[in-house]
Chains A and B, each alone.
Chain A
Amino acid sequence: MVDHGSRDGTFADQVRASPGGDKLTYCFSCGTCTATCPINWVEENYNPRRIIRLVMLGMKEQVLSDPVIWLCSACDICYRRCPQDIRISDVMKAIRDVAIQEGYEPTRAIAKVNERACAGCGMCIQACPYEAIELTSTWVTIQQTMRQRRAVPKVNKFLCQGCGICTATCPVSAISLTEVSDDTIVAQIRAFAEETGK
């Protein structure tokens, strides 16, 4: 049972005060976003309408610790169909911002740079739609006894949405997603090819 003690009355205000969260209270729970969401097709626990309801109810711990809040890929199909003109991706981002402030870590796949393989060309920086990558000068261990100062891209784990555009762009395959590496995908394609016999 949800009783008074399990709620945090300030949570909804906290989300509304974060950039993008101001339209949270417009939601009248029609369910269009949930029915639209392509992520909901594969992960039924991701229900944006329900997450907004929980935020409004003040279920802070339950919302922020739930890995599904990191799933929204900001495709904005729901925004185009929302009758209350709420940009749900912005609301999700506001919820994530609160989560980060409160010390919760993102649980989704993010891009990871293999510093030794990176040539420092910067193509990933241009490719990233979320401006999550920037070039930094770091000491890179090339061999056990050799370190070199190089310009290497650094991924901001809070901004990265895990879309994988950078991995596909990188000419030397030096950047990959933490949970879906190139090797995993190649292995999946091989397995599929073997099974279908082609």
Chain B
Amino acid sequence: MVDAARHPKVDVRTYTEVERVEGFVGNFKILLREKSRYVHADRCNGCGECAQVCPIEVPNYFDMHLAPRKAAYVPMSQSVPLIYNIDMDACIHCYKCVEACGKLEAIDFSIEDNLVWEDIGSVVVATGYDHFDPSVIPEYGYGRFPNVITAMEMERLNNSAGPTAGELIRPSDGASPKRLAIINCVGSRDKRFNPWCSNFCCMYAIKNAILLKQAHPDTNISIYYMDIRTPSKGYEEFYDRAREMGIRFIQGRPSLITEDPDTRNLFVHSENMDLGRTIELEYDMVMLNQAAVPQPDVDTVSSVLNISQSPGGWFMEYHPKLRPMDSPTDGIFLAGACQGVKDIPASVAQGSAAASRAGRVLHADEWEIEPTVAYVWEDRCVSAQDKKCGVCAKACPYNAIEVVQGQAAKVITAKCHGCGGCVAECPHNAITQLHFTDAQILAQIHALLGEKPEEKILAFRCHWCSYGGADLAGTSHFEYSSNERGLRMMCSARMDSDFIYEAFRLGAGAVLYSGCHEQDCHYITGQPVGARRADRLLKTFDKMGMTAGRFRIAWISAAEGDKYARVINEMQETLDSIPKQQLLEEIELLRPQMEKRARRMREVPQVEAAIEYADQLKVAVTEREVQ
């Protein structure tokens, strides 16, 4: 940290909060609130005279409130920069510190927070995690029994720079504990609080046990666990070493801790799974290895940076396996436990990866994005006609569309990832997607349904999953009906209702609406937008009286080639089960309704021309075949 602060190209801003982030990859503007320390940073030399004279003592947060600090303080001895800070919540304005500071005149009670805008190229979010508060678990008695402490309190007690100078003592009487219990999974792997495994606590418990055993070999240490998880390199060997040193591992989650009110000793009740019997053992001190939980202000951070959260409150990565250090917003990267619980080696690796990703942005003069971005026809947008709309902005998972009433919706191209959700959602057909324009797709539909449409199964596939699924079905030689005709779009969110109406208007036998499973969506929330629309369509067709099975929704991943083949074959069976005459009658019966619904699509620029061209092409091909 000190090295970073001294580096000529690193600007460390501590005690500063990011208030707003505007712009996009490579061109962010951020508003920083440099909080007032009430000390001039350029004048303070960190001598500490102010703290010595300060009469106010408050619990020290850094020491987990085990020791006091003054109202004039540095948060910890390695603070960067080493500048004193006046805690205004505790200060009584006696001004003794000002006197002590003397000629330096570093302390100034009139300094206010400083707001500055900065231009930056990329952002790495490394806000870390917080500790679960075990006082909400009544059976463990944290907060009621003084000798039940948390892992962080143990860390401070056992630290040579801590409040006891590394001397391990019991909080109740200052005696040195001879029997210590460490309880794992406090608040984690627990559906009442946090369902996740906190990843590093098993190793953390073993580390603390080994350190204590080395410093005090006569201490009797037991670790209560449900499972010991030591999957990384060298971890299992570390666990072996702990057992060789005589640390006792008891499989069984404690159900209750009770206290002897006289000696303040603790009794831990648990089942010993190896014996299959309940045991009650006496200890001088109990350490609760709490769960890692997201920081309390994750919601603020995610709204400021416009990055989404996974279940539980961890920041969401672009892709859990392939891009774990990228946030879904270009130019914003994730490092460490804020993205999900991880230990030090994993955090360092992710941090380095995120830094190099961020560096790539800084070194680029131009930034390449997918060319399939959205484009607004300003004359068609109703927002420009001073009407309230904003449907497109709601559908966008990347906040790439700005809608101001009175002006046409504006797509920030650098933020657009090209899912096409806005295009399909726009009720006035005022947006299109480059390379996937309405005209292009409708022309494809016309071409695919050119001959005997009632025999065809038109399959709308998303680029990432169901198209891959169809591809896999092909390369794996899974047989499926040759009446299937596939159409690729980037996301199921792009599959406009108008396309489906047009397909049925042309007399398609069956239509498949397919895409990724919800959790696999490559556009954060693209699939849910598509899924909602597909469900609406299914209901509409049901009301119209369409035979069930002619319109089908299927979520198929790229690995599910067999499912793709099965779905198509099932649809073919459905088609075969309808007598031909009945099917043709149904198509004719529904055609006026489909025509009515698909009519507005024709107003879109280029559509008429494209359809005409597709139809002419069809006629030309047919004529050539006849000859």
Pick the residue among B139, B271, B276, B278 that contacts A81 (CB under 8 A).
B139
Taking a contact as CB atoms under 8 Å apart, the answer to whether B269 and A31 are in contact is no
Cβ-defined contact, A30 with B278, below 8 A: no
Type the 1/0 row for A34-61, where 1 means its CB is closer than 8 Å to any CB of B.
1110001100100101100000000000
Q: With a CB–CB cut-off of 8 A, which chain A residues contact B272?
A: 31
Beyond A32-B255, A85-B191, 4 additional contacts (C-beta under 8 Å) are A28-B226, A32-B271, A49-B273, A83-B185
- Provided the pairs A35-B252, A35-B254, A35-B256 are in contact, do residues A40 and B278 lie with their beta carbons within 8 angstroms? yes
Within 8 A of A (CB), among B238-276: 251-256, 269-273, 276
Interface: B277 (CB within 8 A): yes
Q: Are A34 and B271 in contact (CB under 8 A)?
A: yes
B190 contacts the other chain (CB 8 A): yes
Cross-chain pairs A/B with CB under 8 angstroms, 19 sampled: A30-B226, A30-B252, A31-B252, A31-B253, A31-B271, A31-B272, A31-B273, A32-B254, A32-B255, A32-B271, A35-B271, A36-B256, A81-B139, A81-B255, A83-B189, A83-B190, A83-B191, A83-B192, A85-B192
Q: Give a binary string over B179-212; 1 marks a CB under 8 Å from any A CB, 0 the rest.
A: 0000001000111100000000000000000000
Residues on B with C-beta less than 8 A from A49 are: 271, 273
A29 within 8 A of B: yes
Chain A residues, Cβ within 8 Å of B227: 28
User: Min CB distance, A47 to chain B, in Å?
Assistant: 6
How far is B291's CA from A20's CA once the two chains are assembled, in angstroms?
Answer: 30
0/1 per residue, B276-299, Cβ < 8 Å to A?
111000000000000000000000
A35 lies within 8 A of B226 (CB): no
Task: Determine the chain A residues whose CB is within 8 A of the CB of B189 once the complex forms.
Answer: 28, 83
**Do the beta carbons of B273 and A29 come within 8 Å of each other?**
yes
Interface of A is mostly: helix
Q: Mark A1-41, 1 if CB is under 8 A from B, else 0.
A: 00000000000000000000000000011111111100011
Contacting pair B255 A36 (CB below 8 A):
yes
Instruction: Report chain A residues within 8 Å CB of B192.
Output: 83, 85
- Given known contacts A40-B278, A50-B276, is B191 in contact with A31 (CB within 8 Å)? no
Partner of B253, one of A41, A44, A83: A83
Complex: chain A residue closest to B191, CB-CB: A85
CA distance A28 to B271 in the complex (A): 14
Closest B residue by C-beta to A47: B276
User: A84 to B139, alpha carbons, bound, how many Å?
Assistant: 16
Min CB–CB distance B389 → chain A (angstroms): 44
Q: Could you tell me which A residues sit within 8 Å of B by CB distance?
A: 28-36, 40-41, 44, 47, 49-50, 78, 81, 83-85
A-B contact count (CB 8 A): 57
Which residues of chain A come closer than 8 Å to B251, judged between CB atoms? 31
Q: Is A34's CB under 8 angstroms from B139's CB?
A: no
B134 to chain A, nearest CB (A): 13
User: Nearest Cβ distance between residue A23 and chain B, in whole angstroms?
Assistant: 10
Distance to closest chain B CB from A14 (angstroms): 24
* Beta-carbon contact of A84 and B191 below 8 Å: yes
Query: Considering the chains assembled together, what is the distance between the CA atoms of A164 and B402 in angstroms?
Result: 70
Task: Pick the 8 closest A-B CB pairs, nearest first.
Answer: A31-B271, A35-B255, A83-B190, A30-B253, A36-B255, A31-B252, A34-B271, A85-B191
Which of B191, B254, B255, B256 has the most CB atoms of chain A within a 10 A radius of its CB? Answer: B255
Chain B residues closer than 8 Å to A33, beta-carbon distance: 255
With both beta carbons as reference points, the residue of chain A lying nearest to B278 in the complex is identified as A35
A31 to B255, CA, bound (A): 8
Contact A32 B253 (CB under 8 A): yes
User: A105 to chain B: closest CB distance in Å?
Assistant: 27
Nearest B-chain residue to A44, judged by Cβ: B277
B191 touches A34 (CB 8 A): no
Query: Which of B190, B191, B269 has a CB less than 8 Å from the CB of A35?
Result: B269
Given the complex, which residues of A lie within 8 Å of B185, measured CB to CB?
83
A4 → B minimal CB distance (Å): 23
Whether the Cβ atoms of A35 and B270 lie closer than 8 Å is: yes
In the bound complex, how far is the Cα of B189 from the Cα of A36, in angstroms? 18
Name the residue of chain A whose CB is nearest to the CB of B193: A83
Distance between Cα atoms of A29 and B227 in the complex (Å): 10
Q: How far is the CA of A44 from the CA of B272 in the complex (A)?
A: 13
Complex CA–CA separation, A33 to B227 (angstroms): 17
List of B residues within 8 angstroms of A29 by Cβ? 226, 273
Chain B residues with CB under 8 A of A47 = 271, 276
* B190→A31 contact, CB < 8 A: no
Give the docked Cα–Cα distance between A29 and B272 (Å): 11
Given the complex of chains A and B, what is the CA–CA distance between A83 and B291 in angstroms? 13
Closest to A78 in B: B255
User: Which residues from A are CB-within-8-Å of B256?
Assistant: 35-36
What is the CB-to-nearest-CB distance from B254 to chain A, in angstroms, rounded to a whole number? 7
CA distance A53 to B169 in the complex (A): 41
Among B251, B252, B253, B256: residue with most chain A CB under 10 A: B253
Of A31, A40, A49, A78, the most chain B CB neighbours within 10 A belong to A31
Q: In the docked arrangement, what's the CA distance between A36 and B276, Å?
A: 14
Cα separation A187 to B270 with both chains bound (whole Å): 36
Smallest distance from the beta carbon of B185 to chain A beta carbons, Å? 8
With both beta carbons as reference points, the residue of chain A lying nearest to B137 in the complex is identified as A81
Q: How far, in whole Å, are A84 and B188 apart by their CA atoms in the complex?
A: 11
Instruction: Tell me which residues across on chain A come within 8 A of B278, comparing CB atoms.
Output: 34-35, 40-41, 44
Write out the residue numbers on chain B whose beta carbons fall within 8 Å of the beta carbon of A34.
Answer: 271, 278
- Residue in B185, B192, B251, B278 whose Cβ sees the most chain A Cβ within 10 Å: B278
Q: Contact at A31–B139, with CB atoms within 8 Å?
A: no
Q: In the complex, what distance in Å separates the CA atom of A33 from the CA atom of B254?
A: 9
